[in-house]
Amino acid sequence: MWVFSASGCRWLGVAGSLAVAAGGWAAGTLPVLGGRGLWEPRGSALTLAGALLAYLGLAVLVAAWWRYGVLLARGPRHGVLGTLVGWTVPLLFAPPLHSADVYSYIAQGAMVVEGYDVYGGGPAVLGPGELGADAAASVGGHWTDTPAPYGPAFLVLARLVVELTGGSVVPAVLGMRLLAVGALALIVWAVRALGGGPGGRDGAVWLAALNPLLLVHVVGGAHNDGLTAGLMLAGVVLAVRGRWVLGCVLVGLAMMVKSPAAVALLFIGVTVARRDGGVRGVLKGLVLPGLVAATVAAAATVAAGTGFGWLRTQSVAGTIHTALSVTSDLGLGLGLLLGDDPDPVKNVVQKLGLLLAAVIVLELARRAWRGRIDPVLGLGLALVALVALSPMVQPWYLLWGTTVVAATAWRSRAGQLLAVLSAALVWETAPSGRTPWYGFVLAGAVLAAGLLWARRDPWPRAGGPAPGPFVGASVGASVGAQAGPPDGPPADPSADPSPGAVAAGR
């Protein structure tokens, strides 16, 4: 049937994206003030109809994306970039979708313009008549009085958007979305530059950029996680091509949007150490990437004029409980069982989770140094582990690692499992930005169905090219295909080096 063909999937995805955007005009994350008659509540009946249309569109979009990925796994297809354009364009002029975070970005940019300490208070400090006051009125309750957890590089961009738009909500949201589209383009360039691993570039774009989780939350919701991922991936591309200093500069800028991008420095250091070899190479890889990024961070902070308060606000997100955080849920449950005040126990469990994440990250870096795993793939898996064990987890955080894994191993077992998680997590939040109970039910149902499918039809398919220890062509060329670092310990010949083995813990 045509509907199951690549062409059919492309047009079904366009229809799904159109429905998501159209439904968002009535049921999206509409501003409380400043909607200019465009983004305004339409009444309960139209809101319900919009929500149903948006959910129907999301179902069509996810189904089209998944089927398209299956076709790509069976053989190369062309036209992925055209498909991406067709699925992206309908979302560009819609109201914010599935999250109110973009209003926080605008309000924080306005705080910088108005001279407030964005790391000392939240958007609530903006009074009537001040720039960004309308956006501040739409900020989610948890974030109204919360200092910005973002770095000064992002605040400079938010300030620029506010200055160019006068802080008016609709133009400012569209300005932030323009930044998100730029981030999307950067992600596409980077994953294509890294080669995509077995299955090629089209599949990498499919998992990284055509992913409904990215389209809904980075384009529709204008989340700055796309900018973090884009800058980080671009830095990795330059590093594996031998321009590691410039690559670390870009990673430093990514850190000045969101700090978890710093994990990339460790794996860039591994790449440098493997290339140069010996004790000198190890010392160079351990010290210089961090030194370059720290210099960039300091320079960005001074240039932005926002101060170094971001150093103390990196943990503020952890004070807000999200149901997707396993360590927070476990800590809260244990705390309630052990006493009247669960917070001390919860804090301990959260810290243990971060410690475990650090151990996993270091182990993946060690494997990358020994040649048992591609350093770029190791970075992707490390970011996934960090998200899974963080004290605060939002659905779009999965994109940090998913985009990186897509760049080198989209067709591996790890890539398939991340695709299943992406298809599930996109249901967790409603178009209005709320997290209703039925969102978790839908996400759980999709996750169960996806895991069952992945078990019955695992990637890579039988007879297809099997991933090797260096699945990215660009990475393999830069790092070298030798069994171990030039003057370092030899690789374990009995180890299973495939991405699937690493992901499955075999």
Lowest mean pLDDT among 246-255, 310-319, 383-392, 436-445: 310-319
On whether residue 473 sits in a domain, the answer given is: no
Task: Say if residues 191 and 403 touch (Cβ distance below 8 Å).
Answer: yes
* Whether the predicted pLDDT of 380 surpasses 90: yes
- Who's near 458: CB < 8 A, 6+ residues apart? 413, 416, 500
Q: Average pLDDT for residues 199-209, to the nearest whole number?
A: 90
What is the pLDDT averaged over residues 210-222?
A: 97
What is the rounded average pLDDT of the residues 57-84? 89
Sign of CA dihedral 22, 27, 30, 34: positive
Task: Identify whether 404 is part of a domain.
Answer: yes
From residue 415, how far is each of 193, 355, 442, 460, 465 by CA, in Å? 18, 25, 22, 10, 15
DSSP letter (8 states) at residue 32: S
pLDDT (0 to 100) of residue 241: 93
Q: Rounded to a whole number, what is the distance in angstroms from the first to the last CA of the chain?
A: 39
Query: Tokens at residue 206, please?
Result: 């499919």
- Write the CB contacts of 70 (distance below 8 Å, at least 6 apart in sequence): none
- Taking phi over 0 as left and psi of -120 to 50 as alpha, with beta for the rest, 200 belongs to left
Mean pLDDT, rounded, for 336-359: 91
Burial class (CB in 10 A: 0-12, 13-18, 19+), 98: buried
Per-residue model confidence (pLDDT) at position 467: 37
Q: At what angle do helices 278-304 and 263-276 cross, to 10 degrees?
A: 150
Work out the average pLDDT over 460-482: 36
What is the reported pLDDT for 483? Answer: 33
How much is the pLDDT for 423? 97
Token pair 């069952």 in the structure block, residue: 452
Would residue 485 count as lying in a domain? Answer: no
The least confident of 212-216, 246-250, 407-411, 415-419 is: 407-411
User: CB of 101 within 8 A of CB of 221?
Assistant: yes
Q: What is the pLDDT of residues 6-54, one digit of tens each?
A: 889 999 999 999 999 999 999 999 999 988 888 988 888 999 999 999 9
pLDDT of residue 461: 45
Range 367-379 average pLDDT: 94
Q: Is 495 inside any structural domain?
A: no
Neighbours of 70 (CB within 10 A): 16
- pLDDT for 76 equals 67
Check residues 141 and 234 and name the one with the higher pLDDT: 234
Three-state SS annotation for 237-276: HHHHCCCHHHHHHHHHHHHCCCHHHHHHHHHHHHHHHHHH
The pLDDT-based confidence of 466 (bands split at 50, 70, 90) is: very low
Asked whether residue 465 carries a pLDDT value surpassing 60, the answer given is no
Residue 460 and residue 193: Cα distance in Å, rounded? 22
Q: Tell me the residue range of the domain where 236 lies.
A: 2-456
475 versus 96: the higher-pLDDT residue is 96
Res 460: pLDDT: 58
Flag whether pLDDT at 72 surpasses 70.
yes
Mean pLDDT (whole number) for 49-60: 97
Indicate the DSSP class of residue 411.
Answer: T
Domain count, the chain: 1
Least confident of 139-143, 190-194, 214-218, 463-467: 463-467
Structure tokens at 301: 């902070």
The Cα 174–Cα 226 span in angstroms is 15
pLDDT reading at 252 higher than 80: yes
Residue 334 pLDDT more than 50? Answer: yes
Cα distance between residue 119 and residue 207, in whole Å: 35
Q: How confident is the model at residue 321 (pLDDT cuts 50, 70, 90)?
A: confident
So what's the pLDDT on residue 395? 96
Q: Which of 107-121, 205-219, 273-287 has the lowest mean pLDDT?
A: 273-287
Q: Is residue 426 part of a domain?
A: yes
3-state secondary structure 304-324: HCCCCHHHCCCCHHHHCCCCC
Minimum mean pLDDT among 13-17, 384-388, 475-479: which range?
Answer: 475-479
Cβ 173 vs Cβ 48: under 8 Å: no
**pLDDT above 60 (res 498):** no
Flag whether 85 is in a domain. yes
Q: What is the mean pLDDT of residues 392-397?
A: 94
Quickly count: other Cβ atoms within 10 Å of residue 121's Cβ.
16
Q: 220 pLDDT exceeds 90?
A: yes
CA angle 89, 92, 96 (to 5 degrees): 140
Of 77-86, 159-168, 206-215, the one with minimum mean pLDDT is 77-86
> Six-digit token pair at 29?
């994350």
The backbone torsions φ and ψ at residue 98, rounded to the nearest 5 degrees and listed phi first, read 65, 5
| CA dist 195 → 203, 231, 269, 398, 406 (Å) | 10, 17, 21, 21, 10
Residue 167 has pLDDT above 60, yes or no: yes
CA distance 290 to 247: 11
Q: What is the pLDDT of residue 500?
A: 35
